[in-house]
Amino acid sequence: MIAIIGAGPAGLAAARAIALAGFAVTVIDAAQKPGGQYWRHRSTVDGYKATRSEKYFSTVMGNPLVTYINGAQVWSATRSEKSIYINYLQSGVEKRLTCTDLILTTGAYDRSLPFTGWDKPGSMTPGAAQALLKGHGVIAGKSIVISGTGPFLLPVAVGLAAGGAKVEGVFEANSPLRWLRSPLALLLNPEKALELLYYLKQFRRYSIPVRFGKAVTEFTGHSVRISDVNSDMTIKKTNVREIDCNVIATGWGFVPDITLGGILGCNQVVDKDGTVVFSVDNNQRSSIENIWIAGEATGIGGSDLALAEGHIAGLSVIGKRIPFSLNFSKFRKRLFARALQVSYPVNPGWKKWLNRQTLICRCEEVSCGQILDSVEELKAEDARTSKLFTRAGMGLCQGRICSRNVAEIIGESKELRVSDSERIAYSNRPIAAPISLGTLGDGISSK
Amino acid sequence: MQKNNPDAIVIGAGIVGACSALSLTNAGLKVMIIDRGSVASGTTGAGEGNILVSDKDPGPELTLALKSRDLWFELQEDVGDSFELEAKGGVVVARHDSSALMKLAEHQRAAGVTAERVNSAELHKLEPYLHPDLSEGVFYPQDAQCQPMLAAARIIQTVLARGGQLVSQARVTGFEISENTIKGVVTSRGTFHSPLVVNASGTWAGEIATLAGSQLPIAPRKGFILVTEPAPQYIFHKVYDSDYVANVASSDADLQTSTVVEGTRSGTILIGASRERIGFDGSMNFEIVRKLAAQATSLFPVLRDVQLLRVYRGFRPYAPDHLPVIGEDSLISGLWHSAGHEGAGIGLAPGSAALITDAILGRDSFMDAQAFSPQRFAGARL
């Protein structure tokens, strides 16, 4: 039995490849509808080439070979020699899915950087703003500023504007000239130029200003202050502009969600952008023979790459040869993903924006000063020890948002590079989702 | 690296090492603490901060625990109120037959422990959310708790302020020994000379003894602790079932679980305690996690709707007879051990530090430490 965890682009592409070849597959996903974070569970999606998602949705929905388990929060998984057991919660009841082969397509979530006021109501990630819009049909706020780095800011801005919000501006920290460093990636991905043109047209249509080399460095709750930033992310000129707005969406790339693969013991490495990802072979197979991993969890690369990787994983699971065209497609999209890392780096200068009062862990309300004191006075040398002293990363999100920032703040204060083993340590968690003690103690109710 | 050679070197920046270092510093010695990681990076960083007298049978360990419990409050005077020390009291609930628990409490009372037998009404007044069917227990007002990582860090901070040194990220690779007498410690960050070395490396104390050409039968006993989301105050004391006492003293290698439930200042609830002897196997075991959850919710049904947020595991250092090892090595003079405190290291640390300091300086101490002597394993086959 083949199972896929995740129904985003990678998971759907894998399911489609398996089902089209005549094999049965079970897709398990946390959301009510397929699409993942990117296609956001709507049957029609706005944006560039949005309709391509339909062929994936249609393969999964109403295909007798595909069992689709929705609204299922996988909280843990275990394995024996031949089988993998997936424990999930569905409407408050714990159930178990047993499979022989597993494809993990667990995706990614936005990376946040702390700044003064990022803990105020109205401050969110672009992903959260998009989720409010696409998932619930809600416009996140009337007047919105978008800041951070990366191409994902563009579709979010367009989506929010199309939904009726007033997008006051997109402030991209990096310079577009950085793209000149990746000529081969651009040459091999000419269709990306069309995507860019599409967004430029939309930006003109909704009169959204885009500015480069700038970042939001303070949010007051009703306005943002913009600073000019250097390429190393230090501030060149502070508070060059103040813009009234009630929502600020800031995103600094993505963090792969690696919890489940980590629980199952799949080998992890640190990617060039500092994220922890799984090491997989050419066919997306992980260090564990019957587990394949595709999409963002093997390296942030966007939906195009996720589709190719999911397709390859699906074919590999059922023992099919991977056509050259598919491998080449993955190669050039992987090249483009590398170019994204080169073009939109989050350089270390952001720590200079912070003052002692800036909150770093919002769940437990731990300030930058408390973290620095845990290093100076209590001799913490890594994120784990600082967490034990300050509680940074112990709250509801379990450090998903702050642990990398804590580690990098400590690293800088001690003038040490954050080691790969520490990055892997702070990126993993023993359970993938909260579960009530009652449900946990009752055990599996239907086998 | 440039460091002054100290009067004494303590290996281990956990709670036992920290207390030993402070005790030696307060006796006038210049102390260097060496750790292969950083402060509280071993078992101290994976514990609940138990300072218990309730779980011990009368004997040398209980004598040590009673003294050590009082020393914790003296330590707080010395170091400052900075590590959440609280005499919250323990409630032991008889789950089935209460006769064994009541007999233990009677023996403990004879040994100087305050152990108050409580009936159903008193029990539910102490813990209003306890399962209504539970009707008998013993209240131990002396049981206390601290935040062990903060305690170790604050104590080490005090040692440093009084002229001590901390060398972190230094793995011990060997010793300089001549004529069976210790001369120094060789580490990955250099060699440090001292005529006096205290091995306070907890679960790893056996490896350290082996590096010195001696031996110490300390092995890991793995445990899981469940941590919930912050909840309203449902639990007011350390609450555990009477099976806990039997399991602590058990020599069975198989898995044992018995409930220990308590709240913390941050609102999260901690649930223990499993005991397994499977070496340094750090893997997750969800069946144990389920069992702990089932036991905790059977004591406190209100916890059924509280969410589990995380699980952590640690390795308790235990000796075959479940007593700590405190005293000079049987072969190498100048090498002292204070290790093997199993799950009671936080509670026993200040008392153990006083014992070892008194022994090193040749002073009289508050109790006869013969039962803890490393000599008891001399010649034993490991």
CATH code at position B355 = 3.50.50.60
Provide the shortest C-alpha distance from residue B295 to chain A (in Å): 8
Q: Are residues A122 and A191 located together in one domain of the fold? A: yes
**Is A338 contained in some domain?**
no
Q: Are residues B166 and B60 located together in one domain of the fold? A: yes
**Is A286 contained in some domain?**
yes
In contact, A261 and A293? CB cutoff 8 Å: yes
Q: Are residues B166 and B237 located together in one domain of the fold? A: no
**Max Cα separation, chain B?**
65
| From A263, A378, A391, residue closest to B266, measured CB to CB | A391
| Sign of the Cα pseudo-torsion (B67, B68, B73, B77, in order) | positive
Q: Are residues A69 and A104 located together in one domain of the fold? A: yes
Q: Are residues B211 and B165 located together in one domain of the fold? A: yes
Q: Are residues B167 and B60 located together in one domain of the fold? A: yes
| Two structure tokens written together for A75 | 């909280």
The pLDDT mean for chain A works out to 92
Give strand pairing partners of A387. none
Q: What is the pLDDT of residues A268-320, one digit of tens each?
A: 999 999 999 999 999 999 999 999 999 999 999 999 999 999 999 999 999 99
**Max Cα separation, chain A?**
63
The CATH number of residue B294's host domain is: 3.30.9.10
B282 contacts chain A (CB < 8 A): no
The per-residue pLDDT for B252 is: 63
| Two structure tokens written together for A242 | 């103040």
The per-residue pLDDT for A445 is: 52
Contact A437 B286 (CB under 8 A): no
B45 contacts chain A (CB < 8 A): yes
**Is B76 contained in some domain?**
no
pLDDT range class, residue A117, cuts 50, 70, 90: very high
**Is A293 contained in some domain?**
yes
Nearest to B353 by CA among B342, B343, B341: B341
Q: Are residues A124 and A37 located together in one domain of the fold? A: no
Residue numbers of the domain that contains A206: 112-252
Contact A379 B41 (CB under 8 A): no
Q: Are residues A88 and A116 located together in one domain of the fold? A: no
* Minimum mean pLDDT range among A4-8, A327-331, B166-170, B277-281: B277-281
Q: What is the pLDDT of residues A53-91, one digit of tens each?
A: 788 888 778 899 999 999 999 999 999 989 999 999 999
Q: Are residues A10 and A132 located together in one domain of the fold? A: no
Q: What is the CA radius of gyration of chain B?
A: 21
Q: Are residues B248 and B310 located together in one domain of the fold? A: yes
From CA B80, how far away is CA B63, in angstroms rounded? 26
| Sign of the Cα pseudo-torsion (A43, A46, A47, A48, in order) | positive
B367 contacts chain A (CB < 8 A): no
Burial classification of residue A217, based on how many CB atoms lie within 10 Å of its CB (0-12 exposed, 13-18 middle, 19 or more buried): buried
In this prediction, the residues of chain B whose per-residue pLDDT falls under 50 are 1-2, 381-382
Question: What is the number of domains present in chain A?
Answer: 3
CB crowding B104-129: b at 16 or more within 10 Å, else e: bbeebeeeebebebbeeeebbebbeb
| Two structure tokens written together for A252 | 């600094």
| Two structure tokens written together for B330 | 């049987």
CA distances A224 to A171, A216, A227, B45, B131, Å, are: 11, 6, 10, 41, 52
Q: Are residues B224 and B130 located together in one domain of the fold? A: yes
- Closest residue in B to A440 (Cα–Cα): B290
**CB A194: neighbour CB atoms within 10 A?**
11
Burial classification of residue B303, based on how many CB atoms lie within 10 Å of its CB (0-12 exposed, 13-18 middle, 19 or more buried): buried
Nearest to B141 by CA among B66, B241, B242: B66
Interface contacts A/B by beta carbons within 8 Å: 104
- Closest residue in A to B82 (Cα–Cα): A389
Q: Which of B303, B318, B333 is the last residue of a domain?
A: B318
pTM value? 0.91
| Two structure tokens written together for A187 | 């040459």
**Which helix (DSSP H) or strand (DSSP E) does residue B144 occupy?**
strand B144-145
**Is B174 contained in some domain?**
yes
- Closest residue in B to A437 (Cα–Cα): B304
Question: What is the number of domains present in chain B?
Answer: 2
From CA A218, how far away is CA A115, in angstroms rounded? 6
Q: Which of B270, B300, B318 is the last residue of a domain?
A: B318
Q: Are residues B332 and B313 located together in one domain of the fold? A: no
Q: Are residues A259 and A248 located together in one domain of the fold? A: no
Residues of B in contact with A381 (CB under 8 A): 37-38, 168-169
Residue numbers of the domain that contains B237: 90-141+219-318
The per-residue pLDDT for A118 is: 96
**CB A3: neighbour CB atoms within 10 A?**
22
Q: Are residues A295 and A393 located together in one domain of the fold? A: no
Report the share of chain A in percent with pLDDT over 90.
Answer: 79
Q: Determine how β-strand B50-51 pairs with β-strand B144-145.
A: antiparallel
Strand order in the sheet with A84-90: A72-79, A84-90, A93-99
The complex scores an ipTM of 0.90
From CA A217, how far away is CA A228, in angstroms rounded? 9
Q: Are residues B175 and B311 located together in one domain of the fold? A: no
Nearest to B357 by CA among B7, B49, B83, B51: B7
Residues 6 or more apart in contact with residue A369 via CB below 8 angstroms: A356, A357
Q: Supply angle C-alpha A425, A428, A431, rounded to 5.
A: 140
In contact, A305 and A21? CB cutoff 8 Å: no
Provide the shortest C-alpha distance from residue A237 to chain B (in Å): 39
Which of B309, B310, B311, B312 to mutate against chain A (most A CBs within 10 Å)? B309
The per-residue pLDDT for B255 is: 64
Q: Are residues A57 and A73 located together in one domain of the fold? A: yes
Q: Are residues B47 and B133 located together in one domain of the fold? A: no
Residues of A in contact with B290 (CB under 8 A): 440-441, 443
Q: Are residues B225 and B302 located together in one domain of the fold? A: yes
Q: Are residues A290 and A365 located together in one domain of the fold? A: no
The CATH number of residue A182's host domain is: 3.50.50.60
B293 contacts chain A (CB < 8 A): yes
| Two structure tokens written together for A370 | 């408390």
Which of A377, A379, A400 to mutate against chain B (most B CBs within 10 Å)? A379
Q: Are residues B253 and B341 located together in one domain of the fold? A: no
**Is B1 contained in some domain?**
no
Provide the shortest C-alpha distance from residue A41 to chain B (in Å): 27
**Is A434 contained in some domain?**
no
In contact, A131 and A154? CB cutoff 8 Å: no
Nearest to A406 by CA among A421, A420, A418: A418
Q: Supply angle C-alpha A46, A48, A52, rounded to 5.
A: 80
Instruction: Give me the torsion for CA of A202, A208, A209, A213, rounded to 10°.
Output: -80
Residues of A in contact with B226 (CB under 8 A): 437
Q: Which of B318, B338, B363 is the last residue of a domain?
A: B318
Q: Are residues B99 and B241 located together in one domain of the fold? A: yes
Beta strands in B264-355 (DSSP E): 269-275, 307-318, 325-328, 335-339
| From B156, B226, B228, residue closest to A379, measured CB to CB | B156
